[in-house]
């Protein structure tokens, strides 16, 4: 009786069925699964490290990848993690100083967020385009498409705000300013991410508008002057400049 290998022209190869179990376990190790998960998947009640046939070189490289003395995260590795929804740590996106704690960071629909959610909830209530802790990764086409959808929505809202302002509706001027600034920053992020001079995996950091839940509460209570917060954003355009720039945005 011929084996499956002999039937397909591979003579001299003999493999028993249990060998495939060893091969599958080895490939799971190479893919980065923990021994605990592999044991659970394989239905074992004890550690089955004997099933791991990785070479010494493979094991050494994996340890070196995670060891703080030898690991290095370049732009290509970072982009691969983002595209495949792998966990990202703070050290993957920025240089840590001595004493800084490395944390797993959050991914949003438009980029990555380096806010420490272990210390407090989002101080921006999810308004990513107002936050300086938002980073957009060049080459992440999914999040770039999300940014473009966001821009189209902001463009519609901005036009409605302008219409409301023209009819002297109360609060419309602030609406124009708020939505217009978000539209300006969203468009700037998109244009920067589409710049061919940037390498895939590079991070474009957003500009913070200075407002948080705490600052907003303090301003409403009269404990902080709103102008003090907004004066910190000198790099952002005035309302007139903003209007002129937004007229040229096409979505």
pTM of the predicted model as reported, rounded to 2 decimal places:
0.64
- Residue ranges covered by each domain of the chain: 4-66, 74-248
Question: Which of 135-149, 158-172, 198-212, 225-239 has the lowest average pLDDT?
Answer: 225-239
Beta bridge partners of 89: 104
Percentage of the residues of the chain whose pLDDT score is greater than 90: 31
Q: Are 128 and 108 in contact (CB under 8 A)?
A: yes
Q: Residue 68 pLDDT > 70, yes or no?
A: no
For the stretch 135-181, pLDDT in tens is 999 999 999 999 999 999 999 999 999 999 999 999 999 899 889 98
Model confidence at 72: pLDDT above 50? no
* Beta sheet of 203-205, edge-to-edge order: 88-89, 104-107, 112-113, 134-137, 203-205
Place of tokens 């959610």: 117
How much is the pLDDT for 71?
Answer: 47
Q: What is the pLDDT of residues 3-21, one digit of tens each?
A: 887 888 888 888 888 888 8
Which range has the top average pLDDT, 98-102, 118-122, 189-193? Answer: 189-193
What is the spatial distance between Cα 74 and Cα 93, in angstroms, rounded to a whole number? 9
Strands 134-137 and 203-205: antiparallel
């Amino acid at each position: 009786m011929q084996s499956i290998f002999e039937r397909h022209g591979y003579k001299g190869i003999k493999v028993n069925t249990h060998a495939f179990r060893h091969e599958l376990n080895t490939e799971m190790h190479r893919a980065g699964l923990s021994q605990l998960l592999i044991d659970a998947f394989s239905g074992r009640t004890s550690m089955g490290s004997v099933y791991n046939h990785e070479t010494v070189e493979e094991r050494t490289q994996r340890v070196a990848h995670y060891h703080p003395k030898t690991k290095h995260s370049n732009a290509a590795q970072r982009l691969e993690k983002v595209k495949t929804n792998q966990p990202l740590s703070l050290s993957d996106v920025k240089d840590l100083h001595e004493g800084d704690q490395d944390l797993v960071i959050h991914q949003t629909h438009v980029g990555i967020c380096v806010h420490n959610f272990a210390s407090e909830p989002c101080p921006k209530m999810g308004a990513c385009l107002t936050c300086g802790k938002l980073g957009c990764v060049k080459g992440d086409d999914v999040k770039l498409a999300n940014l473009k959808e966001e821009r189209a929505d902001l463009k519609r809202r901005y036009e409605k705000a302008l219409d409301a302002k023209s009819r002297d509706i109360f609060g419309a001027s602030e609406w124009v300013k708020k939505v217009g600034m978000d539209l300006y920053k969203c468009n700037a992020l998109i244009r920067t991410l589409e710049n061919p001079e940037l390498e895939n995996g590079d991070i474009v950091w957003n500009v913070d508008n200075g407002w948080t839940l705490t600052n907003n509460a303090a301003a409403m209570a009269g404990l902080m002057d709103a102008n003090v917060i907004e004066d910190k954003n000198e790099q952002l355009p005035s309302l007139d400049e903003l209007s002129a720039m937004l007229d040229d945005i096409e979505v």
